[in-house]
Amino acid sequence: MKKILVIDDDQFFSKTLEAALPAGKYVLISAEDGEVGLEKLKSEKPDLVILDLMMPKLDGTAFLKKLQESKDLPKVPILVSSNLSSVKKISDVMAMGAVGYVIKSDESLQSIVQDIERVLGEEGNKES
Amino acid sequence: MNIALSSSAALYLFFIPAILILVVLVFYFYHFFRKKEREIIKEKEESTRRLYELAILKELGERVGYSLNVEEILQIITGSLRQFIDYTAVGYVVITPEKIKISTHIERSVGSSFLKEMKERMIASLSALTNKSFDSSAVEEAVSGAIVIDEIKQNIGSLFNIPLVISGAVVGVLTVAHIDAGLYKEEDMTILYKITGQASEAVSRLQEVVRMEKGKLNAMVESMGDGVLMVDAEYRMIVANPAIKKIIKFSGDKDINIFNFVDALGGKFDIHGRLEEALVNKNSFVSERINIEDSFFEIGVYPVLHSMLKGGGQMLGAVVVFHDITRDIELERVREEFTGMIVHELRSPLDGIKKIIELVISGSIPAGSDKFKEYLNMAHQGSSSMLELINDILDLSKLQAGKFEVNKEKASIREVVENRIMFYKISADSKKLSLRAAFSGNLPPSCEFDPQAVKQILNNFISNSMKFTSQGGEILVSVFVYEPGRSLPEDIDKSRFSVYPEAIDIKIKVPSLCVAVSDTGIGIPEDNIKDLFHTFKQAKLSPIDKESKGTGLGLVIAKGIAEAHGGTIGVVSKESLGTSFFFTIPIN
């Protein structure tokens, strides 16, 4: 069972994603903003973080920055999923160490699930 | 005989006086005509002189044109002098910023001692007239005309100096010299005085005009917000206005030069190269945005050509204009941010709805199950928030186009407020917030306003308060009539609210209905208050609960509605103590 932490203030997304993920293979934990996300990243040690960008309190970009600067936070692949589609934003977050960028409204749940499986698969290969 | 004698004597007696008279008459007339003739000659001389004066002035006018060059004028005067005064040598001395220049024209060969004396006397005269010593000044000398022959030992016999005065200051001296003594009379000098006087006057007037025009231009360039500099064809700085000095942070009394700009701009802009391009190839150039400190500039470099009447142009230099586009860029950025936010806020719920439908279609949520109901509720919520946002955007565009209409009618503000309290009561209770209304006794039973529009303002104020006030907090909607210059009515209990508008906060000129929504919430940081009612700017606040977020459009629309009623909108807030939003509507 792989743990996925969804940091997104949009409850639709975590709820629908949860329903779309194949049952029994993944555990989904959600955090409604970046601050809660940081806490859960430490306590839950997820295998993958799905990060939204526009959120109250600590937004996605600030979250990535904290992750970059911190030494004691676990190194987890970050998949950014947002409805922001500006090229600059995408290249900015990719430069900050995200493994992928999903424009939510451009992708179906199925293709997002595939992205997740691909990232987790790649990470798994790296470890083995 | 006697008779004959006496008759001839009588004849003599008659003739002699007649002849005498005749002689006297002839004499008289001779003298009279001589005198007349002399007068006529004199008049002729006079008019010749006048004609000469006129001719020389006309010539001056034509040849000098609009020249402000004193030397040129002196050259013209000395060059025309020969027709009218006899001289051995004529010359002038002028003061230039760097040196004094002496130019002498020799009509008939003289010795060098003659020239030396003439030069000394010219400088002495200039020194006396200007009350300055020129002993240490550099002197440039030019001699033209006949050759100098040292064997000629004759010295100056006659000499006179005419000062050249421009705008009240002596700028040069014109000198006429002759080897013969006692040659020049008062009238010769007077005429030369007149000529130089008139030339001086013309130049002074022209200089005054130029000075005034230059002053206007200077004042304009000085007061310009854009940075302006001008260099001449040798890259010497002619103009650098205060704005441009501020841009490159140049201060001090030293003269600014092109290298100050080269240093300040570093590799961002090749000012020297662009100036060269303008000066040599006459090409203009406008840069892309260039970042200097915290500001952005568009830098334009333009050649400055003086177009001649005959065609062609003389290169005077080049002008560089630093046009500050920081505000444009800031506005562009804010606009982009705003558009991005709106797109995000519209996409998120729509995408959520789409994904829910996707799930339902795929069959992973069985119809009728609890999960199905939950998802349906979510879809409903999403569509409502989208609709709300779309309505806000439509209202905003109406406001911006000036097409927002208020339908005023006689209505009771008490009813409208009570209706809103009822509407929000349930959600306030669930958040454990106290929400109540207070009405002053000074309220009229009804007044003119648009109840729907006022409801919209109240929705915005109350929902904001609810977002930013934590459990156990209080929200009060107070309504009263406020008359400018009087104190606020005392019959509203606001004791539980530490943040409440004072009379000074309500800036109105006529008696108005005043509605305030006060809370004990988190308050608004002072820096954010000024941007609250501006489009595209949302105070970066953290609502108490996670569902609460907003686009900040509500307050902009509320302001528009209040203003469409002829009223005002305002806010008082203290961080961690609370906020009070209020609006006014004039009562008539």
DSSP secondary structure string, B372-406? Answer: HHHHHHHHHHHHHHHHHHHHHHHHHHHHHTT----
Nearest CA in chain A to B339: A84
Query: Does the beta-carbon distance from A56 to B543 stay under 8 Å?
Result: yes
Cα–Cα dist A27/A12, whole Å: 17
**Cβ atoms of B192 and B162 closer than 8 Å:** yes
- Contact (Cβ atoms closer than 8 angstroms) between residue B260 and residue B250: yes
- Partner-chain residue, chosen from A86, A109, A110, that has the shortest CB–CB distance to B340: A86
Going by C-alpha positions, the residue among B568, B558, B518 that lies closest to residue B535 is B558
Q: Which of B81-90, B116-125, B492-501, B516-525 has the lowest mean pLDDT?
A: B81-90
As for the ipTM of the complex, it is: 0.77
How much is the pLDDT for B60?
A: 64
Q: Are B489 and B441 in contact (CB under 8 A)?
A: yes
Q: Do the Cβ atoms of B359 and B375 come closer than 8 Å? A: yes
Is B579 a residue whose pLDDT tops 90? Answer: yes
Q: How many residue pairs from chains A and B have C-beta atoms closer than 8 A?
A: 70
pLDDT at B105 > cutoff 60: yes
pLDDT band at B425 (very low <50, low <70, confident <90, very high): very high
Residue B548 — very low, low, confident or very high, per pLDDT cuts 50/70/90? very low
Helix axis angle, B258-265 to B271-281, nearest 10°: 130
| Higher-scoring residue by pLDDT: B551, A110 | A110
Closest partner residue to A57 (CB to CB) among B348, B364, B542 is B542
Q: Indicate the length of chain A as a whole number.
A: 128
Rounded CA gap, B502 and B450, in Å? 26
State the residue for tokens 């106290």: B434
Amino acid of residue B565: H
Distance from CA of A76 to the nearest CA of B (A): 25
Note the pLDDT of residue B481: 93
Substitution target from B346, B353, B355, B383 for chain A, most A beta carbons within 10 A: B355
Cα distance between residue B440 and residue B489, in whole Å: 7
In this prediction, residue B465 carries a pLDDT of 92
Block residue for tokens 């977020």: B549
Smallest Cα distance from A27 to chain B, Å: 17
Q: What's the pLDDT tens digit per position in B225-234? A: 899 999 888 8
DSSP state of A22: P
Q: Is it the case that residue A18 has pLDDT exceeding 80?
A: yes
In this prediction, residue B489 carries a pLDDT of: 86
Question: What pLDDT is recorded for position B5?
Answer: 65
pLDDT of residue B539: 42
Q: What is the mean pLDDT of chain B?
A: 85
Tens of pLDDT, residues A45-86:
899 999 988 887 788 888 888 888 888 878 888 999 888 777
Distance (Å, rounded) from C-alpha B25 to C-alpha B33?
Answer: 12
The percent of residues in chain A predicted with pLDDT above 70, rounded, is 95
Mean pLDDT within B12-16: 82
Lowest-confidence range among A76-90, B62-76, B321-335, B403-417?
Answer: B62-76
What residues pair up with B438 in beta bridges, in sequence order? B478
In our burial notation (b when 16+ CB lie closer than 10 A, e otherwise), range B481-495 reads bbeeeeebbeebebe
Per-residue pLDDT of B456-479, as tens digits, reads 999 999 988 998 899 999 999 999
Which whole number is the average pLDDT over A79-100? Answer: 84
Whether B359 and A16 lie within 8 Å, measured CB to CB? yes
Is the model more confident about B117 or about B550? B117
pLDDT above 60: residue B235: yes
Tell me what pLDDT residue B503 has: 85
Our CA-based measurement puts residue B340 at a distance from the nearest CA of chain A, in whole angstroms, of 7
Which residue, chain included where needed, has tokens 């279609």? B361
Shortest CA distance to B418 belongs to which of B435, B443, B434?
Answer: B435
**B137 burial class (0-12, 13-18, 19+ CB within 10 angstroms)?**
middle
Q: Quick check: B352 and A84 CB within 8 A? A: no
CB proximity list for B420: less than 8 A, separation 6 or greater: B455, B458, B459, B462, B477
Q: Exposed (0-12), middle (13-18) or buried (19+): which is B499, by Cβ within 10 Å?
A: buried
B344: distance to nearest CA of chain A, Å?
6
User: Do B324 and B291 contact (CB within 8 A), yes or no?
Assistant: no
In this structure, what token pair is assigned to residue A121? 């698969």
Q: Spell out the residues 6+ positions from residue B22 whose beta carbon is closer than 8 angstroms to its own.
A: none
Choose among B75, B157, B162, B144: nearest CA to B114: B157
What is the CB neighbour count within 10 angstroms for residue B427? Answer: 13
pLDDT computed for residue B541 by the predictor: 44
Q: Is A100 buried (19+), middle (13-18) or exposed (0-12) by CB count in 10 A?
A: middle
Q: In this complex, do B340 and A32 lie within 8 Å of one another by their Cβ atoms?
A: no
Strands B578-586 and B569-574: antiparallel
To probe the interface with A, which of B341, B346, B347 has the most A CB atoms within 10 Å? B347
Decide: B469 and B475 in contact? Cβ < 8 Å: yes
Q: Among residues of chain A, what percentage have pLDDT more than 90?
A: 8
The pLDDT value given to residue B381: 84
In A, which residues are within 8 Å of B344 by CB distance? 54, 82-84
Q: d(Cα B333, Cα B327) in Å, to the nearest integer?
A: 10
Q: Which long-range contacts (CB under 8 A, 24 or more apart) does A101-109 make?
A: A104/A13, A104/B347, A104/B348, A104/B351, A105/B347, A105/B350, A105/B351, A105/B354, A108/B355, A108/B358, A109/A16, A109/A17, A109/A20, A109/B355, A109/B358, A109/B359
Q: What is the mean pLDDT of residues B293-311?
A: 83
Cite the beta strand spans of B382-502 per DSSP E: 409-411, 434-439, 447-449, 474-482
- Which residues of chain A make contact with B362, given a CB cutoff of 8 A? 20
Sign of the CA dihedral with B138 first, then B142, B148, and B153 last: negative
d(CA B169, CA B163): 10
Picking from A10, A15, A110, the nearest residue to B348 by CB comes out as A10
How far, CA to CA in Å, does B9 sit from each of B22, B23, B89, B261?
20, 21, 72, 117
Contact list, A113 vs chain B (CB under 8 Å): none
- The residues with which B290 forms a beta bridge, in sequence order, are B297
Provide the token pair at A45. 């040690």
B209-228 average pLDDT score? 85
Q: Using CA atoms, how far apart are residues B580 and B574, in angstroms rounded to an integer?
A: 9
| Backbone Cα Rg of chain B | 48
To the question of pTM greater than 0.80 for the whole model, the response is: no
- Cα separation values, B45 from B42, B56, B242, B459, Å: 5, 16, 60, 103
Q: What is the pLDDT confidence band of residue B581, given thresholds at 50, 70 and 90?
A: very high
Write phi, then psi, for B245 (nearest 5 degrees).
-65, -35
Average pLDDT, stretch B177-197? Answer: 82
Segments in B310-369 forming alpha helices (H): 326-362
Closest CA to B448 of B488, B424, B416: B416
Amino acid at B72: E
User: pLDDT tens, B492-538?
Assistant: 888 889 899 988 888 888 999 999 999 999 998 888 787 788 765 54
Q: Give the span between the Cα atoms of A57 and B526, in whole angstroms.
A: 19
Q: Which pLDDT score is estimated for B80?
A: 75
A57 CB neighbours in chain B (<8 A) are: 542
Q: What is the largest CA-CA distance in chain A?
A: 38
Q: For testing the chain B interface, which of A105, A110, A111, A114 should be mutated: the one with the most B CBs within 10 Å?
A: A105
Ranking B200-214, B312-326, B430-444, B563-577 by mean pLDDT, the lowest is B200-214
Residue type, B107: E
Mean pLDDT of B196-217: 81
B588: exposed, middle or buried (Cβ count in 10 Å: 0-12, 13-18, 19+) = exposed
- Give residue B543's pLDDT band: very low, low, confident or very high (50, 70, 90): very low
Check residue B536 and give its pLDDT.
56
State CA B500 to chain mean position distance.
Answer: 44
Residues of chain A neighbouring B343 (CB-CB closer than 8 A): 83-85
Strand partners of residue B95: B100
Q: What is the pLDDT of residue B545?
A: 45
pLDDT the model gives residue B507: 87
Highest-confidence segment of B132-146, B260-274, B508-522: B508-522
**CA pair distance B276, B285, nearest whole angstrom:** 11
What's the pLDDT score for residue B537? 54
The pair of three-digit structure tokens given for residue B132, joined into one six-digit string = 């300055």
pLDDT value at B588 more than 70:
yes
